[in-house]
Structure 1
């Protein structure tokens, strides 16, 4: 009997980052990839069984926190994470305090840290 992989959505506008994330995490998770916040919302609409979303912060048209704010209104049960190349800022601090995001990670990524956080969030 094969065990079904848990699902994970990664939202990132940079192709290289999407490919790297998918390569690393698809061994353990069924990874859905979105190139934008808009596409991420579409994927969540079609798949209501995704427990964790990891999103880049800085993206064109809709940044990661805006995407997560909209997604969380429709899918409050999901645990959301932000990836950023920038230091902690007021927006991230507010998002953490208001439980908009579960945690944030700095780029370049520590994939082991992200994997442990995702795994923990899926078991909450």
Structure 2
């Protein structure tokens, strides 16, 4: 297992996972999960080296905010972000106001914008 710092990205679409990994891997490892359940498992297994978590908003069984609230029970001292192709909504607004998430990013994502926020987590 790599000991590089890592970020975790959760999305139920395989193409998005691949694009994200290709875009951000390099000085850090990009761990990906295609479901909230897999994301929670990877977070638990790698909690000592994950610097940030980014989640899609719309997924089966659990949305991104619900996933993040559950993930924060395991690791609460790292930044969490939502990345979505859907519009900003009241649930995301509330999550920002309550500091459940630090930022909302839209798809297609702006690599430089996300990188700026990830660099602050390192």
TM range (shorter): over 0.9
Q: Where in structure 1 do 4 or more consecutive aligned residues deviate above 4 Å?
A: none
Q: Which runs of 5+ in 1 are unaligned?
A: none
Corresponding residue number in structure 1 for 2:60: 60
Cα RMSD of the aligned pairs, angstroms, is 1.1
Q: Once the two structures are superposed, what CA deviation does each residue of 1:41-98 show, in whole Å capped at 9, x if it has no partner?
A: 0011111121200100001111111110001122111210000112221000000000
* Structure 2 unaligned blocks of 5 or more: none
Q: Distance in 2 between matches of 1:59 and 1:28?
A: 28
Q: Could you tell me whether the CA contact under 8 Å between 2:55 and 2:64 is conserved in 1?
A: yes
TM-score (normalised: structure 1): 0.91
- The question of whether the paired residues in 2 share the 8 Å contact of 1:53 and 1:80 is answered with yes
Q: Secondary structure at the match of 1:19?
A: helix
Contact 1:51/1:77, CA 8 A, preserved across alignment: no
